[in-house]
A = this chain, B = another copy of it.
Amino acid sequence: MAGPPQTNIAERLAEWAGWFDARLDRLLAPAAGVPKVLGDAVRYAAGSGGKRVRPFIVTRLCELCGGSREDALPAAAALECVHAFSLVHDDLPAMDDDDFRRGRPTCHKAFGEAIAILAGDALLALAFELLTKRMMDPLKAARAVGELARGTGWAGMIGGQVNDILGEKLPPDAALVSDIHCGKTARLFEAAGRLGAITAGADEPRTTAAGTFGHRLGLAFQVADDILDVTGSAAEMGKAVAKDAAAGKQTYPAAVGLQESRRIARELADQAIGALDPFGHDADDLRQLVRFAIDRKR
């Protein structure tokens, strides 16, 4: 049987995250002229502590399409910058008003609201700078910029965040939850898969399969997050729990109950795993990642 030896996916992800964190730290060394507090806030927001699932997807899909870790790095780092930016802005008082993230004070609690807004902005701009500065092939870089901008923008993650806010005033609704989660989470996961394929120069069918894998995994991940907000403890999560219900958020548990939410998570997981068929046994670690995403405790 082909494929890498079966190791525990949590260990594999942690090993890779160690490599990635060290590289990201170097990529985030402030350029000349960057105000110290802004550099600090950007590095605080993007710093270690995240699960790094999104850049892992970029990296593994790049490898599965014939590229290397190094080939994937600019896009993986750019995507993580976008993710970090979204967390900083989502946590703001005018948005979800969260005081803790990954067991630490949120960016605006540590640096003040003005600097946090600007650090988020800087992370978003930096994502696109990294893509063009670090990707040697300008054709791939231009495609990657387009993918990342669309996944991030008004019809992607940012649009989903707006629907999330508007949804707080509406009764729980399964179709609306699906719409919010698709935008807020799945579109950036989809971009992660596609960026991996693009950085490896993959053909269109593989790029599409990579995107579908990311999209379904992203949705499964978000449903699991909804469930953990109901069933998890603050100590395990490193952030406040049961906040969704208190804020009147649109979630699967609120719309369809816990049992049906778990069924939907499993269905999405099966779809994600199915999308990996073109990559054979080499993608077994990603199949484990899917199971890990819906079975995790935090």
A contact set with B: CB distance below 8 Å: 30-35, 37-39, 42, 85, 89, 92, 94-95, 112-115, 117-118, 120-122, 124-126, 128-129, 131-133, 138-139, 141-143, 145-146, 148-150, 152-156, 158-159, 161-163, 165-166, 183
A154 to B117, CA, bound (A): 12
Chain B's nearest CB lies how many Å from the CB of A143?
7
Give the nearest-CB partner of A132 in chain B.
B146
- The one of B37, B42, B152, B183 that contacts A125, using a Cβ cutoff of 8 Å: B152
Whether the Cβ atoms of B149 and A132 lie closer than 8 Å is: yes
Chain B's nearest CB lies how many Å from the CB of A137?
9
> Taking chain A's interface residues, is the majority helix, strand, or loop, or is none over half, making it mixed?
helix
Give the nearest-CB partner of A165 in chain B.
B114
Copy number in the complex reads: 2
16 A–B pairs (Cβ distance < 8 Å), ordered by A: A33-B155, A33-B183, A34-B155, A37-B166, A38-B162, A89-B121, A94-B112, A94-B114, A95-B114, A95-B117, A121-B124, A122-B158, A125-B154, A126-B149, A128-B149, A129-B146
A244 to B149, CA, bound (A): 35
A128 to B148, CA, bound (A): 9
A122 to B158, CA, bound (A): 6
- The one of B126, B129, B138, B154 that contacts A38, using a Cβ cutoff of 8 Å: B154
